[in-house]
């Protein structure tokens, strides 16, 4: 019996990174958390944190990317995994300011190119 290859469902390639991020729910300071991005694509990212959020939660993310790039992105939690007291969340981007898109795209494309070398 052959093992089936896992089908890639992502529309955009993801890049492995370790970038710090701040996240919060609806500008509520009491729900502000820190974490890091494990991987990112043009459509979403995997975020690791120690704060629990329910599936379907809309969050705001402040990404602190290399080269002093700061981006705010809105996203929705679509999956969760818990491993050793940390939580990983799959986040689908729901809103990205048109002025911010080129910064994110450039970061992802440069990271892909650097990883191919």
DSSP for the chain, written as a single string: -PPPPPPP--SS--EEEEEEEEEESTT-GGG-EEEEEEEE-SSEEEEEESS---TT-EEEEEEEETTTEEEEEEEEEEEEEEETTEEEEEEEEEEE-TTTHHHHHHHHHHHHHHHH-
46 part of a folded domain: yes
Print pLDDT tens along the chain (117 aa).
444 444 445 566 677 777 777 776 765 555 667 788 888 888 899 999 888 889 998 888 888 777 777 888 889 999 999 988 889 999 999 988 888 888 888 888 888 887 776
36 part of a folded domain: yes
Domain span at residue 112 reads: 15-116
32 part of a folded domain: yes
Whole-model pTM: value is 0.76
What pLDDT does 18 receive?
73
Q: What is the CATH number of the domain that holds 39?
A: 2.40.10.220
Number of domains in the chain: 1
């Amino acid at each position: 019996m052959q093992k089936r290859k896992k089908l890639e469902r992502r529309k955009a390639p993801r890049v492995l990174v370790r970038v710090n991020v701040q996240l919060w729910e609806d500008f509520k300071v009491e729900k502000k958390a820190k974490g890091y991005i494990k991987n990112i694509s043009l459509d979403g990212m995997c975020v690791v944190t120690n704060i629990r959020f329910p599936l379907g939660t809309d969050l705001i993310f402040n990404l602190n990317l290399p080269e002093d790039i700061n981006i705010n992105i809105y996203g929705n939690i679509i999956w969760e995994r818990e491993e050793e007291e940390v939580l990983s969340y799959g986040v689908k981007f729901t809103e990205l300011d048109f002025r911010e898109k080129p910064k994110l795209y450039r970061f992802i494309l440069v990271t892909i190119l650097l990883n191919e070398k």
